[in-house]
Every structure is written in C-alpha cells, then in structure tokens.
Amino acid sequence: MIIAVIGESNARPHIAELAEEVGRELARRRIDLVCGGMDGVMEAACRGAKSEGGRTIAILAGSDPQQANDYVDFPILTGLGYARNVIVVKTGMAVIAVGGAYGTLSEIGHALAEDIPVIGLETWTLTRSGEPPDAAITIASDPTDAVEKAVRAAEDRLRAFERSRLSSG
Amino acid sequence: MIIAVIGESNARPHIAELAEEVGRELARRRIDLVCGGMDGVMEAACRGAKSEGGRTIAILAGSDPQQANDYVDFPILTGLGYARNVIVVKTGMAVIAVGGAYGTLSEIGHALAEDIPVIGLETWTLTRSGEPPDAAITIASDPTDAVEKAVRAAEDRLRAFERSRLSSG
Amino acid sequence: MIIAVIGESNARPHIAELAEEVGRELARRRIDLVCGGMDGVMEAACRGAKSEGGRTIAILAGSDPQQANDYVDFPILTGLGYARNVIVVKTGMAVIAVGGAYGTLSEIGHALAEDIPVIGLETWTLTRSGEPPDAAITIASDPTDAVEKAVRAAEDRLRAFERSRLSSG
Amino acid sequence: MIIAVIGESNARPHIAELAEEVGRELARRRIDLVCGGMDGVMEAACRGAKSEGGRTIAILAGSDPQQANDYVDFPILTGLGYARNVIVVKTGMAVIAVGGAYGTLSEIGHALAEDIPVIGLETWTLTRSGEPPDAAITIASDPTDAVEKAVRAAEDRLRAFERSRLSSG
C-alpha cells in the first residue's frame, strides 16, 4: 500500500518534525510513501521513512533524478512542472497533509475532487463563502493518529477498487 | 489577452448569474476567456461572453469536443483528466474564481503557487493553521470590479514577461 | 473545425514552404489550426493561415505567452514540456505532418495510437521489424491534397463523435 | 538505477519471450524496471524481473492500482491517459524497446527528442523522407546485449547529470 505525504517545501521546524514522525510511522507499518520529492515536509517524511527501513517514491516536477532529496528510493521524472501534483495524490490511496503552502492547497483540492481521503496535521482550513468551515479534511491529533486514519481510509478505498473490479469482471 | 474563469460545475443560481456577468464584461473589453469548458460557472461565463461577441476557449479533461458546453469556440482536448486544471489557470494572465468546489480549490492553489493573480467572487476563504485568513486572493465586490482587478493584474504580468524577454534577448 | 499541423522546428526551406501553403489552404476553408506554437513548420503554417485570415492556436510547452511565434492568436500555456505534444494531436480532428524530427515522431505515434488520422507530406516512413512499411499514415501529394484528405478524415471523426453522443444520450 | 522497458501490449509470443529475458537480466544486475504497467511486453518484462527478485514500477494511464499487471511493485497512478508515456521514458535513464505498436513509437519519439538513449530489439525502423534509415536507435542482438548497451548508456547519462550538478553547485 502507498500513502502520499504532502506539505510545504519551506517547512517550519515543528512542521518538519511532524512530517518526519509521519514517515517513521508509515515505515513501521510497511507502507510505502509517495511525495513530491523535494525539500521541507517531503524530505523530512522521506528521512523518517528511511530511518525505519521504509520505501520512498518521489514524483518529480523536472527531468533530473538528482533533484530528489537524499532519502528517495525511486525518482519518477515527469517533466510536468506543478501538474505532477495530481500524480502525487492519485498514487496515494490516502493523503496526509502536514502544514502546507499553495502547492499543498492544490494537492488537497485535487484529492478532494477525486474523493481521495485527506488527513490533516496543522494544515489549511477551507471555508466556502458564507458557510461553516469545510469538513472534508479529516483532522488528526498527532502523526500516529494521522497514519492510523490514513491507513483505515486507504484500506476502504482498496476494497472499493476490488469490488468494482469483481463486479465488472 | 486571455483571462481564466474558474468555478463550480454545479452552480447555485446566484453564482451562475455572477459568472455570466463576468463573461459579458470580459467580452465588452475584447478579452478572450479560457475555462474548463464544462457546466455551471464555466457554461454561464461562456454564455455571457458569447452574448457580447467574445471568444471562448475550453481546456477539456477528455477527448470529445462535444463535451464542451454550447458556448465554446475552441475546444482544447487534453485527455489529462483533472490535471488539465493547471493549464486553465496558466493560460489566463489572471484568474477570476466565482463560487467554487474542490476542483476550483485546486486551481486556486496552482495559480497562487505560480504567482498568477486570483480575483475572488464569493469563493473559498483559506486559513493556514493558527494564522489569520490568507490574503492572497483579491476579493472583488461585483463582476465588473472582478474584471477590472483581473485586467489590471494581467497587464502587470504581461509587462513582466515583456521585460524578462527584453533583458534576456 | 480544428486541424493540427505538426513538423520540425528547424525546418528545411522546402518543408517550410509546404507548411505555409498548408496553413493558407486551411484558412481558405475556414478551418482553425492548432500546433505546438514554436518555429519552423509551426511558424510557417501559422503565417500561412494568418495571411488568409485564419485563426491559430498554440499549445506551448512553457509558461510564457511570448514564446509563441508571431502568428499565434491563442497561446495555451501548459507548462508540461514535451507532454504537450499529446494535446496538439488530440485537439486536431485530423493531423497533417510536414517533414518532421523526433518530436513529430512522438506526435505521429500518439495520434495513431488513438486512431486520430495522420496525413503526411515528406514525413517519416515507419517500418516494424520484418514487415513492409506501415500504411497508417495517409500520404499526400501536395499541400492542397493534404488539406483535402485531412478535412475528409476529420469530418468522419466528428460524425462518429456525434453518433456516439446520440446513442449514449 | 532505473531503466525503462517499452513495447506492444498485444505481444507476439517471441516478442514476449525477449521482454521477459530483458526483465530477468535487469534484475540480475540489481537495476529497477519502469514500464507502462499493462499487458504484453510490459507484463512479460515485469514477470522476468520479479522471477529474479527485481523491483518494478508501473506508470499507469488510469486511476486504479489494480489495472497494473500482477508483477508490479509500485503502481504510479497518473490519470493522464497516453500522456503518461512521456513519464515512462523520462524515468528510465535509458529505454529498451521490444517490438512495438504506435504507443511504443510515441515513446521512442519522446525519448529521442530528449536525448534519452533507446536500445531496440525487433522494434520500429524509422526513415525520414528521402534519407537512409535513422540510426538514433541502437540495435541490440539479444536481450543480454540490450541490457548491456542500456546500462552503459544510462551510466553515461547519470555521470552527465552529476557533472552538471557539480558545475552549477
């Protein structure tokens, strides 16, 4: 199972710590991590995953494998620029957002538009004009809670893929 | 000059009215409109533009030109699914967001990540954890104000492209 | 109706002449032209189209509208690099290949893989190992013949889209 | 190091055998394999790689991880349709083409356009109008020869990335 970790590339220190612990916790459960492969939250999550023997995939915006941070096992070279954000969230069976800038916001939007579950740790709050804050992002209390919620949501999605395959086959 | 109009495909009536007036106002100023080509805000904006003799471009997710709404002059077929959202906002020299669901949110994120100006009419409010609401979206009071603010921001961007071309050439 | 013109950006003179005449002939028939927006065949075809009052769309690899050649009406900014080639051929209801380098070859491959008709003027000949040359590219004798063959193939495709819409609706 | 294997999804038996041996040979050298993740050459190459303990990455056109063949370790979900072909060849430091239909042709075109080395086993021969057959595809005599040639070319590219990083850093 693959889970996506998204977040700011210019990470504030406490956000990077949260991301690193998310990476460790995913690896302890033998879950593969996919991210955008750059700095900040992405690097911290990959470092955490590798420290526990996990496997890390980077969906890179450019064409050079050495743009990936030092903790990436599989650099995927898209050359698509920011459009690669869509691939990051689609490849995860669930998405964990840690902190976040505007690129993260685009990833949250893509994920929610395609019914991919998003678990948030100190990330964006979204409010549509004249309504209470949107509840589509599942708020986690800490990295372990985020991973638990993400795994449960990802297992539900994998079962739905399985059912739709059985019914169509 | 091309300006992007983004917003919900399942548009509430007053949101569709705002979008149609945005389309009319763009066409009166001889500005071309780009959008995702589907229903709701996109269709209303195209209808408004055509009613004033404007020109409309649709960046479609699929492969069939007849998926575009009836007011599209130029259907661009990407086959990219939601990743086409990136092209919608990049093609506009500025972006006007009217209402909005999660796809719109992804477009706002992409635009802000690439410093493309976003003007909002009853759209998302964004708040990063523990901070006051983000001020990156310029709020407009009505469709005419939105178009005026978008045109001014777009002219600034075109001048910046021009300057960077002169200095590099 | 939109037809795509593809070909080498570093065009040999007689190839550029063929492309310019293709552009003129498309415009005389009130057909819009889509291409990759750069130099060589793309520029020559756009120049021909504009000389006859046609309309030209460029699917650009980058993010700057001023990268388009001087004869482009609608610069579509993808930021996708070479992946934008797929959009060029999909947006055309048929494709006319004039001369061609490797980028053109990728476009021919994408078109044929999706059953988009390809008409060739002095372009690649393709041979699968141990077989006679592939006949999937329709060879044209001159620019007028190329446009005639492309229009006929494009009309067939539009009718097929229409039929599939009627039968599904 | 990652190397891409491309080829027809409707593989003739002797082509599938070549692809399976390519997969085995890559895995014996501890090289990771990337492909489009579907049937035919892609499945045979993945099966070969897994039989020797290799690791396999699939760049999928759709959104369902279960569309991948049974020998894929890492399904990357792009939702981009055929545009995903670009990512397959960019992710490989070199590309091995085995047999091939039109999708393969588009991948060969993309690779050559970006100077990514292509090694061919019973694949397309390309001839530009009025010229002798193009020599850009390196012809291999058998799967072991293909892998050897691909590894050598890939090592050259990695060194070039390294050099450009050192000189820019």
Contact C113 D125 (CB under 8 A): no
Task: Kindly tell me the sign of the dihedral angle through the C-alpha atoms of D137, D142, D147, D149.
Answer: negative
- Which residues of chain A does D32 touch, with a Cβ-Cβ cutoff of 8 Å? 74
- Give the residue with greater pLDDT, B74 vs A131: B74
The helix/strand count (H/E) of chain B reads as 5, 8
Chain C interface includes B64 (CB < 8 A): yes
Q: Pick A79's closest partner by Cβ from D57, D90, D164.
A: D90
Is C34's pLDDT higher than 80?
yes
Closest CA in chain A for residue B88: A83
Which token pair is A15? 């956000």
- What are the beta bridge partners of residue A10? none
Cβ neighbours, 10 Å, residue C131: 9
Is A23's pLDDT higher than 70?
yes
For the ranges A20-29, A123-132, B100-109, D19-28, the lowest mean pLDDT is seen at A123-132
Chain C interface includes D141 (CB < 8 A): no
Between the CA of residue B60 and those of A61, B121, C87, what are the distances in Å? 22, 23, 10
For the ranges A7-21, C151-165, D26-40, D46-60, the lowest mean pLDDT is seen at C151-165
Tens-digit pLDDT profile for residues D62-93:
999 999 999 999 999 999 999 999 999 999 99
Give the separation between CA B34 and CA B55, rounded to whole angstroms. Answer: 9
Chain B interface includes C1 (CB < 8 A): no
pLDDT computed for residue C167 by the predictor: 83
Number of A–D residue contacts, CB under 8 Å: 68
Is B164's pLDDT higher than 90?
no
Which token pair is B69? 């709404």
pLDDT computed for residue A64 by the predictor: 94
Is D15's pLDDT higher than 80?
yes
Contact C83 A81 (CB under 8 A): no
Q: What is the ipTM of this complex?
A: 0.96
3-state DSSP assignment of residue B128: coil
Which token pair is C29? 């028939």
- Which residues of chain B does A129 touch, with a Cβ-Cβ cutoff of 8 Å? 99, 122-125
Which token pair is A122? 């100190």
Is B168's pLDDT higher than 80?
no
- Where is D26: in which H helix or E strand? helix D13-28
pLDDT above 90 as % of chain D: 90
Give the separation between CA D77 and CA D69, rounded to whole angstroms. Answer: 13
CA distance D139 to chain A (A): 25
pLDDT computed for residue A166 by the predictor: 83
Give the separation between CA C79 and CA C6, rounded to whole angstroms. Answer: 19
- Compute the mean pLDDT over every residue in chain A, rounded to the nearest whole number: 96
Q: What is the mean pLDDT of residues C101-117?
A: 97
Among residues D147, D149, D143, the alpha carbon closest in space to that of D14 is found at: D143
- Which residues of chain D does A32 touch, with a Cβ-Cβ cutoff of 8 Å? 74
What's the half-sphere exposure (Cβ side, CA atoms, 13 Å) at D85? Answer: 30
pLDDT computed for residue D169 by the predictor: 59
Is A85's pLDDT higher than 80?
yes
Give B169's pLDDT tier (boundaries 50, 70, 90). low
CA distance C74 to chain D (A): 22
- Where is D127: in which H helix or E strand? strand D125-128
Tens-digit pLDDT profile for residues D79-136:
999 999 999 999 999 999 999 899 999 999 999 999 999 999 999 999 998 888 899 9
Contact A130 B108 (CB under 8 A): no
Subunits close to C (at least 3 CB pairs below 8 A): A, B, D
Among residues D143, D86, D140, the alpha carbon closest in space to that of D116 is found at: D86
C-alpha triplet A35, D31, D156: angle, nearest 5°:
95
- Which residues of chain A does C80 touch, with a Cβ-Cβ cutoff of 8 Å? 79-81, 83
Q: Pick A129's closest partner by Cβ from B82, B103, B122.
A: B122
Residue in this structure with the two tokens 């949110």, named with its chain if needed: B105
pLDDT above 70 as % of chain A: 99
Is A168's pLDDT higher than 90?
no
pLDDT above 90 as % of chain C: 90
pLDDT computed for residue C169 by the predictor: 58
Interface probe for D, chosen from B78, B80, B86 (most Cβ of D below 10 Å), is: B80
pLDDT computed for residue A22 by the predictor: 98
pLDDT computed for residue A130 by the predictor: 81
Chain A interface includes B53 (CB < 8 A): no
pLDDT above 90 as % of chain A: 90
pLDDT computed for residue A169 by the predictor: 59
pLDDT computed for residue C164 by the predictor: 85
- Compute the mean pLDDT over every residue in chain B, rounded to the nearest whole number: 96
Which token pair is C96? 């006319």
pLDDT computed for residue A96 by the predictor: 98
Chain A interface includes B100 (CB < 8 A): yes
pLDDT computed for residue C88 by the predictor: 98
CA distance D110 to chain A (A): 12
Among residues D142, D147, D149, the alpha carbon closest in space to that of D30 is found at: D147
Give the separation between CA B66 and CA C157, rounded to whole angstroms. Answer: 12
Residue in this structure with the two tokens 């690899």, named with its chain if needed: C61
pLDDT computed for residue D23 by the predictor: 98
C-alpha triplet B65, B69, B73: angle, nearest 5°:
65
Q: Pick A74's closest partner by Cβ from D74, D78, D87.
A: D74
Amino acid at D76: I
Chain D interface includes B133 (CB < 8 A): no
Contact D76 A59 (CB under 8 A): yes
What's the half-sphere exposure (Cβ side, CA atoms, 13 Å) at A141? Answer: 1
